[in-house]
Amino acid sequence: MWFSLDTIVARAKRRGFAYPGSDIYGGLANARDLWPYGVEIKRNIENNRRQYFIQEREDIIWLDSQILMNPKVWEASGHVWGFSDPLVDCKKCQNRERADQLIEDYISQMKDKYKTIANKLHDITKNLFKEMDNLEENMNSTFSAIEYYENIGNWDFAKDFFTQEKEEIDKNLKTHKNKLEQAKEYIIILEGIKEWWIDEFIIRFIRWWVKINITNLNVWSRTFDQQFAFLQKFKIKCPKCWSVARTEPKKFNLMFKTQQGIIEGEGTDIYLRPETAQGIFVNFKNILDTTRSRIPFGIWQIGKSFRNEITPGNFMFRVREFYQMEIEYFVENNEEIGLKAFEEWKALSKKRWIEEMGIRENKLKFRDHDKDELSFYSKWTCDVEYEFPWGRGELQGIAYRTDYDLKQHMEHSGKDMQYNDPYTGKRYVPHVIEPSRGLTRAILTAMIDAYDEEIYTDGNGNEASRVVARFHKNIAPIKFAIMPLVKKDEKMVAIARDIYKKLSKKYMCEFDDSGNIGKSYRRQDEIGTPYCITVDHQSIEDGTVTIRERDSMKQERVKPEDIIF
Ligand code: GAP
C-alpha cells in the first residue's frame, strides 16, 4: 500500500517519534527533534550495529572523534574548495534553489511524461494488432470458402456472391495494409522510448537541444555554464513564483563556518564537520600504532554531521544536522583486493539493511555509479537507494576511495600514513572502502517502511481497521507492553508490575494500566510493539497471562517465566 509522507509525519508527531525542533519559536527550517520512540529507534540501530561490528567482529574498532577539527583537515580533504552545491536565486522572488536539483526534478518529470506517452502508444499498438488479427482471420475463412466453391465447380452458381466478397476483401486488404503500416510506425516510435530507452532518449535530446555532452542522467558534474544553459533552454520555472529569470549558478560551500576564540572577530575560522569520515582518517596512524591492528581492518564511528543544505526537506531526509554511521575499511594497496572488498561490503550492506533493519528488499536498489559519475579519486561507488513516497533517495554510499584520503593527509600534515606489513615487510598507504550510512535517514526509512494500515475481521466478526508499524523486532522502540485488564484490581496490577519489573531489566517495556485493552492494543500497534502481555482474572488463579503478537494478532496463554526473562 502507498502512504504519503504527510501520513508518516502526522504519525511521528502524534505518537512521539519526531517533532519540529524549536517548535515553540516557530521551528527552524527542517530541524527535527527525536522524541522518545525516535530516540529508541536510533539507539536500537546503533546497538545492533555495535553488536555486529564491534562485539562480534574482530577486525573493526570504533572511535568517537571531535566535531570541531583543525581547519587544515578540511583543506586536505578537499572540502574547503570542493564541498559545494550550485546555488541559483530567483530574480523575482529571491527563492534559493540548487541548480542540479532543479534539473534533476525536471528530468524526472520528463521521464514520467515519456513513460505516459510510451504506455499510450503501447495500448494503441496492441489494439491495432488485435484488429488486424481478427481481419486476417475473416479474410482467411472467406478465401477458404472461395477456394472450396471453385474446387467443387460451382463457380457460376455463386459468381455474384463471390464477386461481391472479392471486392469486400480487396477493400479490407487495403485498410489492413494501411493499419499495418501505421502499427509499424508506432512500433518504431515505441521501440525508441520504451521504458528502458527513456534515459537514452532524453540524453540524446539534451545533447541535441542544449549541446551538453552527457552520457548519463545521474551526473550533473557539468560546468555551471552548462547547468545555466540547461535551465535557460528548458525554461525551468521557479517552484515558488513560476518565474524563469534567475541568477547564474554560484558555488555555495555546504560547511557551517564558526569561530573558535574568546574575542569576537579575532578567533580562528573553523567548521562543523560535514562528515564523520575525516575524523577516522586523521586518527588512522595513531589507532594503528596503539591497537596494533593488522590490515585488513576497519574503523567505525557514529556521530553528528552538519551541512548547510540549500534545500533541506522531506521531513528528516535532507536536514542540516544529522547522524552518520561511517566505516573506513583499510585494505592492501592492490586494486584487485580493493574491488573484492568493495563487492563484499556491498553484499554485507544489503544483508544488514534487510536482516538487521527489516527493510523490504523490493524497496531497495543498489545502484552502481557509471564511470562518468565517479569522483576523480573513486574506483567504484554504489548508492543504496530506497523507494520513498516522493521517489528514490540515497540511504547509503559505498565507495572504493583508494588511498586518496590518507595520501592527502600525509601530504598536508607531513605525517607518515604508511602501514608496515609485519609479514611481508611491505610499506604502503592502504586503500579504503567506505560504507557510509545516514543514521537519521535510516530512522526515517524504518518509520516509513514499517507503516501499514490494515483491514481485518475482529472477534465479533465485524470489519475493523488498524494502523500498525511492522518494525523489525530489533528496531521496535518498545518490545513489550504489559497491561492489567482491570485498572483497579490490585492483584492484577501487582502481577503486571512484577512482570514489568523483570522484563524491563532487559527490554524497553511500557506499563499500560488504562484499563481499555482494545485501545491499548491499537496504540501499541501504532508504535510497533511486537508483544502485548495482558494480566486478567485467570492470571490471579493460575498465574498465566496472555501474550498477543503484533502482526498476526494471535493470542496465547503462557506462564510469565516462559517469556524470556
Ligand atoms: N563520507 C562520505 C559521505 O559523507 P555522503 O553521500 O555525502 O557521503 C553519506 O553521505 C550518507 O549520509 C548519505 O547516504 C545519507 O544517508 C547521509 N546524509 C548526507 N547528507 C544528509 C543530510 N543533509 N541529511 C540527512 N542525511 C544525510
| Ligand 1 centroid distance, CA of 389 (Å) | 19
Average pLDDT, the chain: 89
From 73, 85, 275, 321, the mutation candidate for ligand 1 (largest count of ligand atoms within 8 A of CB) is 275
CB 322 near ligand 1, within 6 Å: yes
The whole-number pLDDT of residue 29 equals 83
pLDDT score of 195 more than 60: no
Among the atoms of ligand 1, which is closest to the Cα of residue 326? 1
Q: Decide if 38 contacts 443 (C-beta within 8 A).
A: yes
Is the Cβ atom of 319 under 6 angstroms away from ligand 1? yes
The strand pairing partners of 493, in sequence order, are: none
Distance 218 CA to ligand 1 centre (A): 17
The number of the ligand 1 atom at minimal distance from the alpha carbon of 275 is 4
Atom of ligand 1 nearest to the CA of 319: 24
Q: Is the pLDDT of residue 240 over 70?
A: yes
Instruction: Please report which confidence band the pLDDT of residue 340 belongs to, taking 50, 70 and 90 as the band edges.
Output: very high
Q: Is the peptide bond before 296 cis (omega within 30 degrees of 0)?
A: yes
CB of 445 closer than 6 A to ligand 1? no
Residue 141: per-residue pLDDT: 72
Ligand 1 neighbourhood includes 385 CB (under 6 angstroms): no
**Residue 154: which pLDDT band, with cuts at 50, 70 and 90?**
low
User: Kind and range of the H or E element at 118?
Assistant: helix 99-151
pLDDT bracket for residue 157 (50, 70, 90): low
Q: Could you tell me the three cell numbers for 285?
A: 596512524
Residue to mutate (ligand 1; options 282, 316, 394; most atoms within 8 A of CB): 394
| Chain Cα centroid distance, residue 456 | 30
Counted residue by residue, the chain has a size of 565
Got the DSSP string for 309-322? -SS-BTTTTB-SEE
pLDDT score for 116 = 79
- Cα 293 to ligand 1 centroid, rounded to whole Å: 28
Kindly state if the Cβ of 318 falls inside 6 Å of ligand 1.
yes
Nearby residues of 304 by Cβ (< 8 Å), 6 or more positions away = 67, 321, 322, 323, 324
Q: Judge contact between 328 and 297, C-beta under 8 A.
A: no
CB 103 within 8 A of CB 237: no
The percent of residues in the chain predicted with pLDDT above 90, rounded, is 66
Tally Cβ neighbours within 10 Å of residue 516: 13
Q: What is the pLDDT of residue 143?
A: 66
Give 87's pLDDT tier (boundaries 50, 70, 90). Answer: very high
Q: Is the predicted pLDDT of residue 77 greater than 60, yes or no?
A: yes
Residue 54: pLDDT over 80 = yes
d(CA 167, CA 212): 57
How large is the average pLDDT for residues 202-214? Answer: 82
Question: Which carries the bigger pLDDT value, residue 141 or residue 250?
Answer: 250
Rounded Cα gap, residues 7 and 162, in angstroms: 69
Nearest CA to ligand 1 atom 6: 397
What percent of the chain shows pLDDT beyond 70?
89
pLDDT tens digits for range 438-450: 999 999 999 999 9
Residue 196 pLDDT exceeds 80? no
Give mean pLDDT, residues 214-222: 68
Q: Outline where DSSP puts E strands in 205-290.
A: 250-253, 257-260, 268-271
pLDDT of 208? 85
Residue type, 449: D
Which of the pair, 268 or 400, is modelled with greater confidence?
400
DSSP 174-222: HHHHHHHHHHHHHHHHHHHHSGGGHHHHHHHHHHHHT----S-TT---S
Higher pLDDT, 107 or 172: 107
Residue pair 135/183 in contact (Cβ under 8 Å)? The answer is no
Q: Report the residue among 349, 436, 444 best suited for mutation to probe ligand 1: largest number of ligand atoms under 8 A from its CB.
A: 436
User: What's the confidence (pLDDT) of residue 121?
Assistant: 72
Q: How confident is the model at residue 119 (pLDDT cuts 50, 70, 90)?
A: confident
Nearest to 383 by CA among 426, 409, 355, 353: 353
Task: Return the ligand 1 atom nearest residue 309 CA.
Answer: 23
Kindly state if the Cβ of 125 falls inside 6 Å of ligand 1. no
Give all strands (DSSP E) within 21-164, no chain letters. Answer: 32-34, 60-62, 84-89, 96-98
Mean pLDDT of 490-516: 95
Residue 282 pLDDT > 80, yes or no?
Answer: yes
Interval 285-290 mean pLDDT: 92
Residue 161 has pLDDT above 70, yes or no: no
Whether the predicted pLDDT of 219 surpasses 70: no
Q: How far is CA 93 from CA 103, 232, 238, 312, in A?
A: 19, 17, 9, 19
* Mean predicted confidence (pLDDT) in 479-496: 95
What atom in ligand 1 is closest to the CA of residue 320?
23
Q: At what angle do helices 198-209 and 99-151 cross, to 10 degrees?
A: 120
328 CA distance to ligand 1 centroid (A)?
A: 15
pLDDT of residue 370: 82
Distance 112 CA to ligand 1 centre (A): 27
DSSP, res 236? P
Q: Is 439 exposed, middle or buried (0-12, 13-18, 19+ CB in 10 A)?
A: buried
Sorted by sequence, the CB contacts under 8 Å of residue 242 that are 6+ apart come out as none
